[in-house]
Structure 1
Amino acid sequence: MFPGLSLCRIQHRISSQMSVSTTCTRDSADLTSQCKLKQKAIKTLVLHVISSRFVLFLVQLIFNSFDFSTDAFKGIEEPDDSVFRLLRGFVRWDSIQFLHIARHGYVYEHSLAFFPLFPTLLRTGADVISIISSGVFSPSSNVILSGFFLNHVCFLISSLLIYSISSTITSSKKIASISVLLFSINPASIFFSSLYTESLYCCLTLLGIYVLISSSSFYIRLPLVTILFSAALLTRSNGLLNIGYVLFYEGLRSIRGQRNDRIVKQILNIGWYLARVSVVIIFVILSLRVHSVRQTNQYCTESKIALPESVAAFGIKENLTIIGTAVPWCSQFSIIYPPFFSSIQDRYWDVSLFGYWKIQKLPCFLMAAPVIIFTIYCTIRVLNRLLRNGVNWFIDSYGDSLPYALHSIALLIPALLIYNVEVYTRIIFSSSPFLYIELARILDENTPNIRVEHLAKPTIFPFVSYLLYRRDICCVISAYFFLFYFMGTVMHTSFLPFT
């Protein structure tokens, strides 16, 4: 395990055993006091995270009766009930795709663009709710409730993980607390509550990072990371980039352990490093291959699959490619991603190199501009810190935010060149703690007189709302978060395009 800072520092030069006992007693009392303060701070942060979801739910409830959609996929119509009317603002755009997959499986070709873990969990949770409620709710409402509970539990866990990771990286409880406050009202907030993969994916990724930086045992660390990052890849396609965290942190661990070793032992350590990361990479990729083989077999065999009449009729009515129909990608080969993935992305979403560079897409680039600027600016700050403090500081500080910066740039480049650029907003805020930590650093630097205990004020949207009254970069950051938190919720729940 990476060595941390000791919370109890005993003086080395003492005159008697009595002074040792007194010092330890005093330090023990200080440690107990610090633990109580930490618990109180975390409890306060959790309450603010929950309140941010409640406010978002109320905004959704007000605007979910509006429907400005045009040709978006609506799925098979089912009778409304009280659950749907209460939560329908969370069932827009891609949420309908996940709802349909959870109910009927991958029966339409375009559904294959959505990875399987989230709809599988939705269906499992829906089955449990159906049993508990004795079938009171409709099948679709069971799925919606399942997603609602799953996403909010994952969101709460993610907030605690951000606090832990941030405090480990920065050694600052204030920065860690601000990171959580920013997370609670992040610009992609509506997607963390809707039937989207954001909450689940964020939780799995942060859990993997937490295990990498906190667990000392190889036999615990790598199996857990393999499971978590495999699950993340089965949730979203960009989960493959999480392998970079394994390469980085395991490499950093090897460097820390062999700085004073002889050359032969260093070579052996390098070989051991390559062996263990290779095992993780192979198993993570294999998890996706299982899904790939299964769906390829179902779509590319000659046997017809019996479908419910309503599902088949809807597919014919909407001119959708139904399972059992000839598809062009059956003869294609792909090493990592399923053979159908790139073909479907290109055919249905125009995902290709410079495919999004069109005049009519300029508003989408403008919508993503703030988060792109923040990503580049924060990356420059990280690199400057590395150059200023040196390699030894970098190694001893868990790599600082460098792995998150590299990961964010790896997500940004294809967003600018290949896929829908506006999606980068929700991808970056659900894939990495990077912007939460680095923007929190900026807010901390510009509020030196504010201590951790002050962050709980005011009661609603603490600290961040106070920054709106300033005339510096703090105001810019908080205004961006608040604007997208509210505007994004209103637009998304009204079935208007937003990221």
Structure 2
Amino acid sequence: MSSTRTTVTRTTIDNIGILNQPIYTLTKCFCLWKIVLLLIVLASPGPGYDTSTALLLSPEEEHARNSAGTVEWLISHVAHKVARWDSIYFLKIAQRGYVFEQEWAFGYGYTRLLSFILPASLRSLQNLAVAGVVLSHLCHYLSVLVLYRLSRAIFKSDGQKSDALPFLASALHIVSPAGAFLSAPYMEAPFSFLNFSGYYMFITALNDERRGSFYLRDAKFLSAGALFAVATAVRSNGLLSGLLFVYDAVFGLHQLFTHGLSWHVLRRLAMIGAGGSLILIGIVGPQYVAYKEFCLAEVSRPWCSRLLPSIYTWVQAYYCSDQRNVGFLRYWTFSNLPLFCIAAPAICILVYSGIRVWATLLPMLAEPGQKDGGETKADSDSSYSLRYQARLALPQVVLALLAVTNYHIQIVNRISSGYPLWYWFLASCLVSEKRNSTTLPRWLSSHVILRVTVMYGLVQACLFASFLPPA
């Protein structure tokens, strides 16, 4: 029986590898998953323990009740269900801008994008909530497509993997543990799209370099930096994507010290430095706007006199009572143990998949004659995708370590959605069907993880709509 099941699974994966219309199939899977999540959200009972949404939307909801059976009633019902957790603040800020200092704890880039979608005359909270849902669905779908293209750019010479793995990785992103957060007015879907797009630009820039298209490579390095800057303005952890530029800058400097000055290396370092510097705009830009508002006034705020005046860190420490546990190991309390358990599977996969790539790459980097980011002409055709993965492993592993030591750890289940390497790891396990020969125990096989991910997404959608933790 087990042999028959394995044969069927392998046949299914082989069929995936020769799909004639992978984008069409991914689109159908995406629509089906989103319909299921939306039905769960709409059918979820009550507002939970927090009535913030009902209080904010009550005037608009009363008007919608008088129009029962109309589109306005449906809009009101959807808005009432998806405006949960931080999305309440996003919607209110998008409606009338930043008014209170404590509101700067919520992503500047996302609220500005949300307010840009609708003209001022249409920015009711209900309309903004629906616009946020549409934006999240669109960005999530586009991120699925970008991940597919990124996967093909990296694994295009890996034989059968080059067909099956991109499809499976993109399908896994559809059922990401982020669940309802990728459908609601939240930052996760726009961030995933922007971050994946930045990775795609960076990796294709390296491919262009291998073909000798240096002007195109330089333009893509700058484009990648710009995309990461916008992603950072949406979510501050986008700053971690700058580690890709750090990786290449370190190898460039190593070449200068070991092989002497070279115009090609200097030009490449200049483009890497320029692209990486653009990412800082995503952090500095919003801080500058806040600095002008609060620090150039007649009475400035206390954070303005700090060496690095950051309104974000000030707000987190001064206003947010739940942030008292934010800081190095301050979240490590017995009461938070269930949240560590919830986040443990995601943390393990993020760290293991990243370390696994580097464990394979390091012996290759130790070989003499390395060139341009650790590649040699002799082995580049067989190992360049591994080196690309090693670059992408850096922000993923650092994110996981920060989540364990500094963050509210449970949020890793949703913010991990914008990092591709762990999708490739699970997809590779599904393709290879070598559970008996891997270091992972059978109960932690990719199929088990996939089932748990799907179940978690379904349960989480109900908890999210009912305003119940974990968030």
Query: TM-score by structure 1 length?
Result: 0.74
Alpha-carbon distance in structure 1 between the residues aligned to 2:452 and 2:458: 10
| 2:336 is equivalent to residue 361 of structure 1 | yes
| 2:421 is equivalent to residue 434 of structure 1 | yes
Question: Cα–Cα, structure 1 residues 210 and 250, in superposed 2: closer, same or farther, change >3 Å?
Answer: farther
Question: Cα–Cα, structure 1 residues 387 and 227, in superposed 2: closer, same or farther, change >3 Å?
Answer: closer
Alpha-carbon distance in structure 2 between the residues aligned to 1:72 and 1:385: 50
Q: Match of 1:295? A: 290
Alpha-carbon distance in structure 1 between the residues aligned to 2:363 and 2:306: 49
Q: Match of 2:105? A: 113
| 2:390 is equivalent to residue 410 of structure 1 | no
SS of structure 2 residue aligned to 1:397: helix
Q: Match of 2:241? A: 242
Alpha-carbon distance in structure 2 between the residues aligned to 1:399 and 1:111: 41
- The structural deviation recorded for 1:55 is 1.2
The total of aligned residue pairs comes to 405
Question: Cα–Cα, structure 1 residues 72 and 110, in superposed 2: closer, same or farther, change >3 Å?
Answer: farther
Q: Match of 1:307? A: none
1:148-182: per-residue Cα shift (whole Å, max 9, x none)?
12111111110011111122223321111111111
Task: Decide which moves more: 232-241 or 396-405.
Answer: 396-405
Question: Cα–Cα, structure 1 residues 437 and 492, in superposed 2: closer, same or farther, change >3 Å?
Answer: same
Alignment identity in percent? 25
Structure 1 contact 50–156 (Cα < 8 Å) conserved: no
Alpha-carbon distance in structure 2 between the residues aligned to 1:489 and 1:376: 26
| 2:41 is equivalent to residue 60 of structure 1 | yes
Q: Aligned letter for 1:342?
A: T
Structure 1 contact 93–495 (Cα < 8 Å) conserved: yes
- The structural deviation recorded for 1:93 is 0.3
1:313-349: per-residue Cα shift (whole Å, max 9, x none)?
xxxxxxxxxxx8x743121232xxx611112222312
1:407-460: per-residue Cα shift (whole Å, max 9, x none)?
111111221111111111111122x10111111111111179xxxxxxxxxxxx
Alpha-carbon distance in structure 1 between the residues aligned to 2:344 and 2:304: 38
| 2:277 is equivalent to residue 282 of structure 1 | yes
Question: Cα–Cα, structure 1 residues 75 and 428, in superposed 2: closer, same or farther, change >3 Å?
Answer: farther
Alpha-carbon distance in structure 1 between the residues aligned to 2:357 and 2:289: 43
- The structural deviation recorded for 1:73 is 8.6
Bigger radius of gyration among the two: 1
Q: Match of 2:466? A: 494
Q: Aligned letter for 1:480?
A: V
Aligned partner (choices 157, 163, 166) of residue 176 of structure 1 = 166
Runs of 5+ consecutive residues of structure 1 not aligned to the other structure:
1-35, 304-323, 449-469
Q: Aligned letter for 2:314?
A: S
| 2:184 is equivalent to residue 204 of structure 1 | no
Q: Match of 2:446? A: 474
Q: Match of 1:344? A: 315
SS of structure 2 residue aligned to 1:199: helix
Q: Match of 1:454? A: none
Question: Cα–Cα, structure 1 residues 272 and 226, in superposed 2: closer, same or farther, change >3 Å?
Answer: same
Counting only pairs closer than 5 Å after superposition, residues 37-52 of structure 1 correspond to structure 2 as 40-52=21-33
1:36-59: per-residue Cα shift (whole Å, max 9, x none)?
966512211121112211111111
Q: Match of 2:9? A: none
Structure 1 contact 212–249 (Cα < 8 Å) conserved: no
Alpha-carbon distance in structure 2 between the residues aligned to 1:248 and 1:74: 48
Structure 1 contact 126–139 (Cα < 8 Å) conserved: no
| 2:128 is equivalent to residue 143 of structure 1 | yes
1:378-410: per-residue Cα shift (whole Å, max 9, x none)?
223323432577765575226142122221111
Question: Cα–Cα, structure 1 residues 414 and 447, in superposed 2: closer, same or farther, change >3 Å?
Answer: closer
Question: Cα–Cα, structure 1 residues 218 and 405, in superposed 2: closer, same or farther, change >3 Å?
Answer: closer
- The structural deviation recorded for 1:298 is 1.5
Query: TM-score by structure 2 length?
Result: 0.78
Q: Match of 1:328? A: 302
Alpha-carbon distance in structure 2 between the residues aligned to 1:249 and 1:38: 35
Q: Match of 1:3? A: none
Aligned partner (choices 354, 359, 379) of residue 379 of structure 1 = 354
